[in-house]
Amino acid sequence: MIAAAERFVRVIIRRPHAYRFRDQHREAPIPGLVFLGPDGKVKGTFTFGGEDDKASLLAKLLEMR
């Protein structure tokens, strides 16, 4: 478990539910991550590519937020 993730309320949304989420948030990448503020507004997104070490990437990404 990535420690920095504890700073977030974490929600997993899969296809096809994810498509409906994207209907409301056009910038949402699938597959990917979306950061929302407590007000529910999008603060950032991240799209997964072909990275070899996704765990390190995720950890860095969450540390930076």
Give the residues lining the site for another protein (CB under 8 A): 1-2, 5, 7-18, 20-22, 28-40, 43, 48, 54-55, 58-59, 62, 65
In the bound complex, what is the minimum distance in angstroms from residue 1's beta carbon to another protein? 5
Contact 23, 17 (CB under 8 A): no
**CA angle centred on 9, ends 5 and 64, rounded to 5°:** 40
What residues are paired with 45 via a beta bridge?
34
In the bound complex, what is the minimum distance in angstroms from residue 10's beta carbon to another protein? 5
For residue 20, the one-letter residue type is R
In the bound complex, what is the minimum distance in angstroms from residue 14's beta carbon to another protein? 5
